[in-house]
Amino acid sequence: MTTRSLRFLSYNIQVATGIRRPHHYVTYGWRHLLPDPWRRQRLDRIGRLLSDYDVVSLQEIDAGSYRSEFLNQAAYIANHSQHPHWHLQVNRRYGRVAQQGIALFSRFRPYRIDEHMLPGLLPGRGAIAGYFGADRAPLVVISAHLSLGYRSRRQQLDYLAAVADAHRHVVILGDFNCTEHQLLDHPGLVRAGMIPVLAFGGTFPAWRPQRNLDHILVSDTLEVTDVDVLAHADSDHLPIAVTVRLPQEVAVSLD
């Protein structure tokens, strides 16, 4: 069955630490390093949220380490959200204590997955590119998590813009650690025809959202029919979601 409309979601889940207030950075800081008996309940809620979406990007997800009780959070969430296709990229390895990365989930089988290590002053930032449909006119979906520093982030945007510029139909989702103004003014993104979807209300911090740090960018060939920031308080970020109508030449179908 071919679909003409897809629902996308991007969410920095902060390894399901459950930080919801400023003082939690201190009182719950241990959850970044140690097992937490309530973490799986938060993962269950995240999985239920994701079940309403076709393609999902998650950032700050643990691949299975001491703090997550050696649970691969991507596999666990995919099972609960019923996304049969998922890919996890580990970008920061802290031995047995933490294995942190990004993930891309989909109801549709990608015919190709590429991992990208993003440039920057410090290592540990990456992107996953999933290719859907047919090679002659693919839908390219990129999950990414960019740096806090302006110079490194600028280099990473240059890199992503170059990847997007090679294709007609692209969606980039992730935690960009910047407001939409830097994205609107980036010459590479403009040249590639990538447009940040402007959402009403910020995504960070979750308890008093004032800034849009999480974004979804779409090619100018794609039509956005809905956008929303969701009130899902299991992280210090809020998830952002969009519905995109696909052009006729993009054929994305269930297995």
Percent of the chain with pLDDT over 70: 96
Residue 60 has pLDDT above 90, yes or no: yes
Residue 57 has pLDDT above 90, yes or no: yes
Cβ contact 67:15 at 8 Å: yes
> Coil, strand, or helix at residue 24?
helix
pLDDT digits (tens, 9 = 90+) for 66-85: 999 999 999 999 999 999 99
Residue 51 has pLDDT above 80, yes or no: yes
Whole-number Å distance between alpha carbons of 145 and 128: 10
96: confidence class by pLDDT, cuts 50, 70, 90: very high
First to last CA, the chain: 8
pLDDT score, position 200: 82
pLDDT score, position 142: 98
Percent of the chain with pLDDT over 90: 83
Higher pLDDT among residues 168 and 255, named by residue: 168
pLDDT digits (tens, 9 = 90+) for 110-128: 999 999 999 999 889 999 9
* Kind plus residue range of the DSSP H or E element containing 163: helix 150-165
pLDDT score, position 90: 97
Whole-number Å distance between alpha carbons of 144 and 123: 14
212: which DSSP letter? -
Residue 27 has pLDDT above 80, yes or no: no
Residue 176 has pLDDT above 90, yes or no: yes
pTM: 0.95
pLDDT score, position 3: 73
Residue 86 has pLDDT above 70, yes or no: yes
Pairing between β-strand 98-106 and β-strand 112-117 as defined by DSSP bridges: unpaired
Residue 222 has pLDDT above 90, yes or no: yes
Residue type, 231: A
Task: Using alpha carbons, select from 91, 92, 173 the residue that is nearest to residue 129.
Answer: 173
What is the pLDDT averaged over residues 164-183? 97
pLDDT score, position 22: 66
255: confidence class by pLDDT, cuts 50, 70, 90: low
pLDDT score, position 35: 87
pLDDT score, position 18: 81
Whole-number Å distance between alpha carbons of 235 and 201: 16
How does the average pLDDT of the chain come out, rounded?
Answer: 93
Residue 2 has pLDDT above 80, yes or no: no
